[in-house]
């Protein structure tokens, strides 16, 4: 089999964002676009991680969205062209993001390529994405993604092989010249890992006792995982997993597990004869939403509750060394860490920042406000794992989720929390808004906005305590003297215009006030945050497009 070098002109728009490169399918479909990006990854690795993919084992899989199959074939040929010895690819080109991480770690692979645009819509007019994960199973750290970007700007050719598409629909081994391709069951390794982490006997007993779960896979990648784990291994009734057939366009929906896009699930849990517990995950299976009877549990609260109850899970029976949350995530977990006497780290948004803390054993549990929860079993956030964690806690405590949450708030206080997204903004305008905030930081202290006084404000910069790397400009933080925090940052995962995210948080110690509605509880703070950044004037909008 002959390796050919194909000349290519650099694409100037291939800078990886919060989680890999995300673009419209139409952009990824341009001749040479996937090839140039993936070759740039391979070209960057010798300088970025000290070794090349030649002779190594890589993992490949994606969430099954439109273009997944095309991209998988192109990338397999590039892998062969670059001398990769062996590839583990999920059957049909499918692997959830957490499963990619599990397979990389389980097989000691050099790295892996994830094909997904996560919670973004799919289909021919939707989004696609490519992300590189390193040998610890986690997303490439910034040092690596920076090197990849530099290589995208100077690439002149890619190396590939000229062979027809390979059949990937059956488990087994095929060869592409010298390269061995092992087509693996996408669920097997992952499910086995889950059995090592959780008390499956106890969860199975919960289901035998009539407990009802509704898991909404949103026609994304987790359907087969949910069927195998919840229904087959844990004995939950057939139909526990709904929308469990992965579809290339996710049935035309946003595979984003939040109260807006998973409204069916929220409604089911509010019905008088509804299930006991509900959950959903996103396109690539790394996010989770959990819902108690009549109550959505916010991701920030979920992280705190899981931290407080971690010892009920066999994997964590000796407790947690520490925890971490992304900066905009509410500080509910900080209170649990303080009570447990363990460290709590605050990292920039994006899972790649948890990797070094997990590798060093400083933390074993971490999460983000954006429905991401995960631990040291892999190096990605993990949707099905988070649901199993809750089921294990519910089985061990024998109480409903809503009671556990209410008890948590009584003990630690409640952090009212919401994120306001302003989507589809002109990129330049959004950039100016952040620049303006940044420029005003030194004069904000003491100023009043809609009844709130600024106590402190900064532009969040993170120094990784393990490797010393610095990540600046990770969001504007404002702390108010009256209590409450506002954070402003721009999304790094969108594919159309810019999205401004405004994160609001207010602590309420008084249990008598924990039942107040979220909107009411946060309205004054929201007004102050909008006034401080002059949102209405600058954006010409009085309301966010999404409240999460
Ligand atoms: C968003 C979330 C962030 C998450 C990222 C990837 O990024 O805010 O917390 O890590 O998506 O999640 P941004 O830059 O748009 O705010 V996923 O499920 O797309 O892999
Ligand atoms: Co995702």
Query: Atom 8 of ligand 1 has which residue's CA nearest to it?
Result: 370
Angle at 366 between CA 50 and CA 489, to 5 degrees: 85
Q: Is the CB of 251 under 6 A from ligand 1?
A: no
Whole-number Å distance between alpha carbons of 203 and 139:
31
Whole-number Å distance between alpha carbons of 353 and 344:
14
Whole-number Å distance between alpha carbons of 323 and 310:
11
**Residue-level pLDDT at 341:** 98
Whole-number Å distance between alpha carbons of 141 and 350:
10
Distance (angstroms) between ligand 1 centre and the Cα of 212 equals: 30
Q: Is the CB of 345 under 6 A from ligand 1?
A: no
Sign, CA dihedral 396-397-401-406, equals negative
String of DSSP letters for 269-288 = HHSTT--SEEEEE-TTS-BE
Beta bridge partners of 454: 480
Whole-number Å distance between alpha carbons of 140 and 16:
10
Q: Is the CB of 495 under 6 A from ligand 1?
A: no
Q: Is the CB of 493 under 6 A from ligand 1?
A: yes
Ligand 1 atom closest to Cα of 326? 9
Place of tokens 């490439």: 140
Q: Is the CB of 354 under 6 A from ligand 1?
A: no
Q: Name the CA dihedral angle for 36, 38, 41, 43, rounded to a multiple of 10 degrees.
A: -60
Angle at 286 between CA 280 and CA 289, to 5 degrees: 30
Choose one of 372, 381, 490, 494 to mutate for the ligand 1 pocket test, by most ligand atoms within 8 angstroms of C-beta: 372
Q: Is the CB of 350 under 6 A from ligand 1?
A: yes
Whole-number Å distance between alpha carbons of 449 and 13:
39
Whole-number Å distance between alpha carbons of 170 and 165:
14
Distance (angstroms) between ligand 1 centre and the Cα of 301 equals: 18
Choose one of 15, 16, 17, 18 to mutate for the ligand 1 pocket test, by most ligand atoms within 8 angstroms of C-beta: 18
**Residue-level pLDDT at 215:** 98
**Residue-level pLDDT at 5:** 98
Distance (angstroms) between ligand 2 centre and the Cα of 213 equals: 22
And the tokens for 448?
Answer: 């009043």
String of DSSP letters for 23-76 = EEHHHHTSTTHHHHHHHHHHHHHHHHHS--STT-EEEEEE---TTHHHHHHHHH
Please count the CA atoms within 13 angstroms of the CA of 410 that sit on its side-chain side. 6
Phi-psi region of 540 (alpha: psi -120 to 50; beta: other; left: phi over 0): left
Are the C-beta atoms of 280 and 218 separated by less than 8 Å? yes
Q: Is the CB of 287 under 6 A from ligand 1?
A: yes
DSSP helix/strand/coil, 432: helix
Instruction: Determine the longest span between alpha carbons in the chain, in angstroms.
Output: 73
Query: Atom 10 of ligand 1 has which residue's CA nearest to it?
Result: 350
Distance (angstroms) between ligand 2 centre and the Cα of 411 equals: 32
Q: Give the active site residue among 19, 101, 118, 330.
A: 118
Please count the CA atoms within 13 angstroms of the CA of 523 that sit on its side-chain side. 5
> Is residue 118 annotated as a catalytic residue, yes or no?
yes
String of DSSP letters for 174-206 = EEETTEEEEEE-TTHHHHHHHHHHS-HHHHHHH
Distance (angstroms) between ligand 2 centre and the Cα of 351 equals: 10
pLDDT digits (tens), the chain, 548 positions: 899 999 999 999 999 999 999 999 999 999 999 999 999 999 999 999 999 999 999 999 999 999 999 999 999 999 999 999 999 999 999 999 999 999 999 999 999 999 999 999 999 999 999 999 999 999 999 999 999 999 999 999 999 999 999 999 999 999 999 999 999 999 999 999 999 999 999 999 999 999 999 999 999 999 999 999 999 999 999 999 999 999 999 999 999 999 999 999 999 999 999 999 999 999 999 999 999 999 999 999 999 999 999 999 999 999 999 999 999 999 999 999 999 999 999 999 999 999 999 999 999 999 999 999 999 999 999 999 999 999 999 999 999 999 999 999 999 999 999 999 999 999 999 999 999 999 999 999 999 999 999 999 999 999 999 999 999 999 999 999 999 999 999 999 988 899 999 999 999 999 999 999 999 999 999 999 999 999 999 999 999 999 99
Please indicate, yes or no, whether the overall pTM of this predicted structure exceeds 0.95: yes
Q: Is the CB of 368 under 6 A from ligand 1?
A: yes
Are the C-beta atoms of 436 and 328 separated by less than 8 Å? no
**Residue-level pLDDT at 494:** 85
What is the 3 state secondary structure string of 436-492?
Answer: HHHHHHHHHCCCEECCEEEEEEEECCEECCCCCCEECCCCEEEEECCCCEEEEEECC
Query: Atom 1 of ligand 1 has which residue's CA nearest to it?
Result: 493
């Amino acid at each position: 089999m002959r390796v050919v070098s194909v000349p290519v002109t650099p694409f100037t728009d291939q800078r990886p964002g919060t989680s890999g490169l995300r673009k419209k399918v139409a952009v990824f479909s341009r001749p040479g676009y996937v090839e140039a990006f993936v070759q740039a990854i391979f070209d960057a690795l010798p300088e970025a991680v000290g070794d090349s993919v030649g002779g190594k084992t890589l993992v490949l899989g994606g969430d099954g969205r439109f273009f997944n199959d095309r991209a998988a074939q192109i990338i397999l040929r590039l892998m062969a062209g670059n001398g990769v010895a062996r590839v583990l690819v999920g059957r049909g080109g499918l692997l959830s993001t957490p499963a990619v991480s599990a397979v990389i770690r389980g097989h000691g692979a050099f790295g892996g390529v994830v094909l997904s645009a996560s919670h973004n819509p799919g289909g021919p007019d939707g989004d696609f994405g490519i992300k590189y994960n390193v040998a610890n199973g986690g997303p490439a750290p910034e040092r690596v993604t920076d090197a990849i970007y530099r290589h995208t700007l100077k690439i002149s050719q890619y190396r590939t092989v000229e062979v027809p598409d390979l059949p990937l629909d059956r488990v087994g081994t095929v060869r592409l010249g010298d390269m061995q391709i092992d087509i693996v069951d996408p669920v097997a390794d992952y499910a086995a890992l889950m059995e090592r982490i959780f008390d499956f006997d106890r969860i199975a007993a919960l289901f035998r006792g009539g407990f009802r779960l509704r898991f909404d896979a949103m026609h994304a990648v987790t359907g087969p995982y949910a069927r195998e784990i919840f229904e087959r291994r844990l004995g939950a009734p057939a139909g526990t997993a709904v929308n469990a057939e992965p579809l290339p366009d996710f049935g035309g929906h946003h595979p984003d597990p939040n109260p807006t896009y998973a409204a069916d699930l929220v409604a089911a849990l509010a019905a008088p004869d509804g299930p006991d517990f509900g959950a959903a995950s996103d396109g690539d299976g790394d996010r989770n939403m959990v819902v108690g009877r009549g109550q959505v549990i916010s991701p920030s609260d979920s992280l705190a509750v899981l931290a407080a109850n971690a010892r009920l899970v066999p994997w964590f029976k000796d407790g947690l060394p520490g925890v971490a949350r992304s900066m905009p995530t509410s500080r509910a977990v900080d209170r649990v860490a303080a009570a447990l006497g363990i460290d709590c780290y605050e990292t920039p948004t994006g899972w790649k920042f948890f990797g070094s803390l997990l590798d060093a054993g400083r933390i074993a549990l971490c999460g983000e406000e954006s429905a991401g929860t995960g631990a040291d079993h892999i190096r990605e956030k993990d949707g099905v794992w988070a649901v199993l964690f809750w089921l294990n806690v519910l089985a061990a405590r024998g109480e409903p989720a809503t009671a556990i949450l209410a008890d948590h708030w009584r003990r630690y206080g409640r952090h009212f929390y919401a994120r306001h997204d302003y989507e589809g903004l002109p990129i330049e305008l959004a950039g100016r808004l952040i620049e303006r905030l940044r420029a005003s930081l030194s004069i904000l202290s003491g100023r009043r906005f809609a009844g709130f006084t600024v106590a402190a404000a900064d532009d969040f910069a993170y120094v990784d305590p393990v490797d010393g790397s610095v990540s600046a400009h990770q969001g504007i933080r404002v702390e108010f003297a009256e209590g409450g925090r506002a954070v402003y940052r721009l999304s790094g995962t969108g594919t159309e215009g810019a999205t401004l995210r405004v994160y609001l948080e207010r602590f309420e110690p008084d249990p008598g006030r924990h039942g107040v509605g979220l909107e009411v509880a946060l309205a004054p703070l929201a007004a102050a945050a909008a006034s401080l950044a002059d949102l209405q004037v600058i954006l010409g909008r009085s309301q966010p497009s999404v409240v999460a």
